[in-house]
Amino acid sequence: MTRADLSAASKTRVPIPATRNLTGPMRIATFNIQNLRLRRCGGVGRLDGARDGDMPEDATPAAAALDPIDRRLTAEVLKLADADVVALQEVFDRQTLDHFHDRVLLPAGARPYPYRHCLPGNDGRGLDVAVMSRVEPRTVISHAAETPATLDLPPVRGCGLHDRVFRRDCLEVDLGGLVLFVCHFKAPYPDPVAAWPVRHLEARAVVRLIQRRFAEPAAGLWLVVGDLNEPAHEAPRLGRAVQPLLLGDFGLDLTRRLPPGERWTFHLPHTGIYSKPDAIIASPALAARFPEAVPQVIRAGLDREAERYSGPRLAAVGEHRPHASDHAALAIDLPGL
């Protein structure tokens, strides 16, 4: 297959100028790789597979036996994406990331990522956001310790004035002209009504971080990438938690350049629900600079239960598992950076 087949609290800083001179093309990807955790037994490392354990078929010895195949498929999707910079969600820690890179990704034939970062976040299970890059970042900053008080935002139900805003983190990655904000917002399950104000606050917090970073956010060169967990349908009385804040005049979700039926990145088994929790949101200046840049949705590692996808799959993909993740990867080319 080819491409076509397919942590400390942030310090208050003086906003940087909106534009810089950039050189060379860059390919950016984002991928929720579903519960990547390294466990050691008798000195031997073993990666958890792409399973949550919340479905009966994913919590059996037979399911555990598929874990190594899942992770080879995860690596094959990343090899297909072949991005210069990859934002990842649901990585346990840096040791897990390094083990996956050295023991699974490189043997799969992917080109190496010498710069890898996974800083401690706020997820109770230890699943954090991470970045792998072939471009040396100028800085990588965790915002896991931010609170409504530090961001000058009001508290909400589920997050008090001095509670941490981000359920995981917002990782700020300065690539020397292009700045990424890597996110994984609160999931709407099991209680979408309780989750809504927290996810809404996370979106407001990202807007505030961008406003702090750039003197003119609309003219800056930035991307918000990751799993924003916006469900397919919010409760009508609630409306959308993320869309009114990060989109519209503030930013543009580049996946909207795809036909509506081709935007989905996630399939919830046994429900028939397809949704697009994953996003690549660009500043107005970045979107205008690359009007022809259209994201690629890489679904080759999705299980065969996601019947809406009829394209080629990786050979080892099964009906429910093995699979690379319950999410598709998103990638976009930015020529002439």
CATH of the domain at 160: 3.60.10.10
Cα 276 versus chain centre, distance: 12
Q: Is residue 8 included in any domain, yes or no?
A: no
Q: Is residue 43 included in any domain, yes or no?
A: yes
Q: Say if residue 284 is exposed, middle or buried (CB neighbours under 10 Å; 0-12, 13-18, 19+).
A: middle
The whole domain housing 229 covers 26-334
Q: Report how far residue 281's alpha carbon sits from residue 260's, in angstroms, rounded to the nearest whole number.
A: 16
Contact 336, 221 (CB under 8 A): no
Contact 317, 303 (CB under 8 A): yes
Q: Report how far residue 283's alpha carbon sits from residue 304's, in angstroms, rounded to the nearest whole number.
A: 35
pTM (2 d.p.): 0.92
Strand partners, 31: 88
Q: Report how far residue 11's alpha carbon sits from residue 109's, in angstroms, rounded to the nearest whole number.
A: 39
Kindly calculate the radius of gyration of the chain based on its CA atoms and give it in whole angstroms. Answer: 19
Residue 55 has a pLDDT of: 75
Q: Is residue 61 included in any domain, yes or no?
A: yes
Task: Give the alpha-carbon dihedral of 266, 267, 268, 274, to 10 degrees.
Answer: 90
Tokens linked to 203: 């979106």
DSSP state for residue 256 in the 8-state scheme:
G
Q: Is residue 256 included in any domain, yes or no?
A: yes
Q: Is residue 129 included in any domain, yes or no?
A: yes
Q: Report how far residue 145's alpha carbon sits from residue 190's, in angstroms, rounded to the nearest whole number.
A: 25
- How would you write the pLDDT of the chain (337 residues) with one tens digit per residue? 444 443 333 333 445 444 344 558 999 999 999 999 999 988 889 999 999 877 777 889 999 999 999 999 999 999 999 999 999 999 999 999 999 999 999 999 999 999 999 999 999 888 999 999 999 999 999 999 999 999 999 999 999 999 999 999 999 999 999 999 999 999 998 898 999 999 999 999 999 999 999 999 999 999 999 999 998 765 545 568 898 899 989 999 999 999 999 999 999 887 888 999 999 999 999 999 999 999 999 999 999 999 999 999 999 999 999 999 999 999 999 998 7
Q: Is residue 54 included in any domain, yes or no?
A: yes
Task: Give the alpha-carbon dihedral of 5, 79, 167, 269, to 10 degrees.
Answer: 50
DSSP state for residue 103 in the 8-state scheme:
I
Q: Is residue 13 included in any domain, yes or no?
A: no
Cα 163 versus chain centre, distance: 23
H or E stretch at 29? strand 26-36
The amino acid at 192: P
Instruction: Please give the tally of structural domains in the chain.
Output: 1
Q: Is residue 16 included in any domain, yes or no?
A: no
